[in-house]
Amino acid sequence: MVARVQSVKIGEETMQTGEEKIRWAEQYMPVLGMIRERFIQEQPLEGMVIGMALHVEAKTAVLTRTLAAGGAEVHITGCNPLSTQDDVADALRASGIHCFAKRACSHDEYYAAIDQVLDARPSITIDDGMDLIHHLHTGRREILPSVIGGCEETTTGIHRLKAMEAEGKLLFPVIAVNDTPMKHFFDNVHGTGESALTAIMATTNILIAGKRIVVAGYGYCGRGLATKARSLGARVIVTEVDPRRALQAHFDGFEVMAMHEAAPIGEVFVTTTGNIGVLPAEDFSLMRDGAILCNAGHFNVEIDVDWLEANADAIRRRDGIDSYAFGDRTIHLLAEGRLVNLATPKGMGHPIEVMDLSFAVQALSTEYMAQHGSDLAPGVHNVPRAIDEQIARMKLESLGCSIDTLTREQAEYISSWDVGT
Ligand SMILES: NC(=O)c1ccc[n+]([C@@H]2O[C@H](COP(=O)([O-])OP(=O)(O)OC[C@H]3O[C@@H](n4cnc5c(N)ncnc54)[C@H](O)[C@@H]3O)[C@@H](O)[C@H]2O)c1
């Protein structure tokens, strides 16, 4: 086992800026605020130890404190070596949350911090990408008996969980938070769409209007990105492997082509597939001098960064940008190919209001797991529809929006089969 990152010191000054960031986020998280009020009264998580591996930034801190307000003992680390905001981590530590996250940690430090979370013997895990559950099932199986179940935040984590389930290797129930409409309709589409573009603009200072932007993958994240880039005036090309999604992009008005055709045309490339080798080395030599590459998918495997490291001269131009010179061209890579909206120094992750919804799903799914987890079979479970609808109603209430209610006649009509022509 690797060495622990012991006794992270709390910086007074950074703790203050972190606290300010958390308070700022809280103002725009009314749904989580309502849940927190109820949690304070009802203490539904009393006696629960929650182990988390999430992007440690301000919105996550609000979730963490909501769970603690519900009576849980919370232990948290990051789910990406570059996405932790150290000032937020300091503020969490100062408020009694066991936080082991550190920005720019090494691979060993990353897993050492995961080990520290697992040392607390969590009853519920909350993952973003499944590294915690993976480590628990592989390196720390002695912890398994204390776990009731888990919750997973992102598409890539769900893929991994379903692969584990298919092989009969997943040993406790996990709620697929990502797969519920109140998460991916908003988080993946609007959250990734806006925050990836914001991070690209803030890191590079380039104009999006008029640029040829290539979006790899037309799933929830890719659709959000492509649509928002177009609304800023970009000329967007989409690449896909799924013929239905490719056709959807075509009918949505985007140019669709294979990556090797898009490579010589694109000025900015964003991968959003959750897959490996989406921008391979052979496409780099087709690209224009000065092309900008980045990734908004969960892991840093979409762009062949290893090839660039091994075959090109790397020059760090400015924070968050590595420029690679090879042959007669230079191409620029943002955030080392890690998810651009969180891993660039200016990346703040998804907009707050979006995370209010995603983390409301996390909070209520955690409560559900605490109450019903021992009745659930090992495997991947959907978020109960009642939770999804409750969150939508709370958000509408906070916005002051009212909606119609089905009449009895309408409810009967849409659930009947004998009324036709
Ligand atoms: N950056 C963030 O903050 C953030 C937020 C949410 C999700 N994610 C991550 O983004 C990734 C995508 O999530 P999603 O919800 O959009 O998934 P999705 O499954 O809806 O979409 C992925 C799309 O990529 C396509 N694809 C797969 N391989 C491809 C290839 N080689 N070339 C082109 N297209 C390919 C698939 O056909 C699919 O349409 C996942 O890794 C997810 O975990 C990131």
Task: Please tell me the predicted confidence (pLDDT) of residue 13.
Answer: 75
Residues 201 and 312 in one domain: yes
CB of 242 shorter than 6 A to ligand 1: yes
SS3 assignment, position 252 = coil
pLDDT (tens digit, 9 = 90+) per residue, 39-62? 999 999 999 999 999 999 999 999
Task: Please tell me the predicted confidence (pLDDT) of residue 346.
Answer: 85
Cβ distance 305 to 279 under 8 Å?
A: no
Beta strand 49-53 with 173-176 is unpaired
CB of 220 shorter than 6 A to ligand 1: yes
Residues of the chain with pLDDT under 50: 1-7
| Pairwise CA distance, residues 75 & 125, whole Å | 10
Residues 204 and 337 in one domain: yes
Residues 90 and 103 in one domain: yes
Q: Per the structure, how many domains does the chain have?
A: 2
Task: Please tell me the predicted confidence (pLDDT) of residue 319.
Answer: 86
CB of 156 shorter than 6 A to ligand 1: yes
| Pairwise CA distance, residues 79 & 349, whole Å | 13
Sheet holding 124-127, edge to edge: 98-99, 73-77, 49-53, 124-127, 149-152, 173-176, 379-381
Task: Please tell me the predicted confidence (pLDDT) of residue 316.
Answer: 80
| Matching residue, tokens 């991070």 | 199
Rounded alpha-carbon distances, angstroms, from residue 279 to 209, 274, 337, 347: 23, 12, 11, 22
Cα 15 to averaged position of ligand 1 atoms, centre (Å): 35
CATH code (residue 198):
3.40.50.720
Cα 301 to averaged position of ligand 1 atoms, centre (Å): 12
Token output for 7: 């006794």
Cα 273 to averaged position of ligand 1 atoms, centre (Å): 3
Task: Please tell me the predicted confidence (pLDDT) of residue 23.
Answer: 97
Task: Please tell me the predicted confidence (pLDDT) of residue 419.
Answer: 85
Residues 28 and 91 in one domain: yes
CB of 204 shorter than 6 A to ligand 1: no
Rounded alpha-carbon distances, angstroms, from residue 127 to 93, 151, 178, 387: 20, 6, 11, 19
CB of 64 shorter than 6 A to ligand 1: no
Task: Tell me the best of 192, 215, 223, 357 to mutate to test the pocket of ligand 1, counting ligand atoms within 8 Å of each CB and taking the most.
Answer: 192
Rounded alpha-carbon distances, angstroms, from residue 316 to 188, 203, 291, 313, 326: 30, 13, 15, 10, 15
Residues 229 and 275 in one domain: yes
CA of 277, closest atom in ligand 1: 31
